Amino acid sequence: MKNIQYINSFFILLVLFASCSSDDSSSVEEQIPQTRVKTINENDINFYDVEYKDDGKIATINKSGSGNSSITYAYNTQNLPIQKGEASYEYNAQGKLSKITTSDYTTEITYDQEGKIVLEEAVANTYNLDKTFKYNTEGQLIEIAEHFISNNSGLAPYKKYIITYTSNGSIAEILERQSIDDFTYVDKFESKFGYDDKKNPLLNLHENSGGKEGLSYYMGVLSFHTNSITNLPPSLYFYGKNNLLFHTRTDLDDNKQYKTTYQHQYNQDGYPETTTKTIFNPNSQNSTELIYDWTYEKK
């Protein structure tokens, strides 16, 4: 695959209002409404409307335009998602995601004693794939190793994704390496990412559907311009506090660079109102521009 397509929900401080009289004083605590995404217009082609439950969790995302569809979300008593559209999620005794089931694949996830993912076993329509995970001393994921147990996809049987981070914990680079024998690896693709310092509406949506900031499997229809770590599902996605400004992916065989840039116009709360996404293809030397318009509501 040549392109990777691979958000901190905004909670505002409580404001105290005090009313005083000569013989009495009291304080009343009032919560300022939370900002949340309401609609997304994707290049005047696809339109998304987000409906919320009374507790603030996403209930349904309705899509119209090029095709009409709805993704319905369901949660367990711990407010963890158990259904997103066709995908179902199961959890272990510690409340960790342990199984994902879709029509295309089933994945089981194993954790270490510290609660970090160490093994992912996926059975898909065209392959069986195991992934193992390594971390640095700070607990950051720094390597994913893929091994095809059975493979009808035509892809390399072994891959490694080497991940480095910015100083604030966002993903800075991903180096993809491939091997036919799990002994000699060749660097194949290098991806780099840059960010603004504003609020990310995709993290807002992600947290309002039971996800958390950082690496996560949860991905609904709204995973456009979020960093995917690996190419094959189920992919870990990176939901960061800030918005992407650029994403480059360089084919190290021929040094061709595929580049996507993002220009944002922000509202007074620091969220994008308009995002212009420009995709450059080095083969055709052409660029494609997509425009996303966001609206928000306070609740």
Q: What is the pLDDT of residue 52?
A: 96
- The CA distances from residue 168 to 164, 197, 239, in Å, are 12, 11, 13
What separation, in Å, do the N-terminal and C-terminal C-alpha atoms of the chain show? Answer: 41
pLDDT for the residue numbered 236: 79
pLDDT for res 18: 28
Find the length of the chain.
299
pTM above 0.75, yes or no: yes
pLDDT value for 109? 96
Q: Which residues are bridge partners to 280 per DSSP?
A: 259, 287
Give the pLDDT score at 8.
31
User: Cα torsion for 107, 113, 114, 119, to the nearest 10°?
Assistant: -30
The pLDDT value recorded for residue 10 is: 24
Which residues are CB-contacts of 178 (< 8 A; sequence separation ≥ 6)? 156, 158, 159, 185, 186, 188
Rounded distance between C-alpha atoms, residue 87 and residue 223, angstroms: 14
**Residue among 220, 228, 222 nearest 85 (CA):** 220
Q: Which residues, 6+ apart, have CB-to-CB distance to 43 below 8 Å?
A: 290, 291, 292
Q: Which amino acid is at 216?
A: S
CB contact set of 62 (below 8 Å; sequence gap of 6+): 48, 49, 51, 68, 69, 70
DSSP state of 203: H
- What pLDDT does residue 5 have? 33
Residues of the chain predicted below pLDDT 70 = 1-31, 151-155, 218-228, 231-233
Nearest alpha-carbon partner for 157 in 178, 183, 177: 178
Q: Is 205 helix (H, G, I), strand (E, B) or coil?
A: helix
Q: Which pLDDT does position 115 carry in this prediction?
A: 92
* CATH architecture group of domain 15-298: Beta Barrel (2.40)
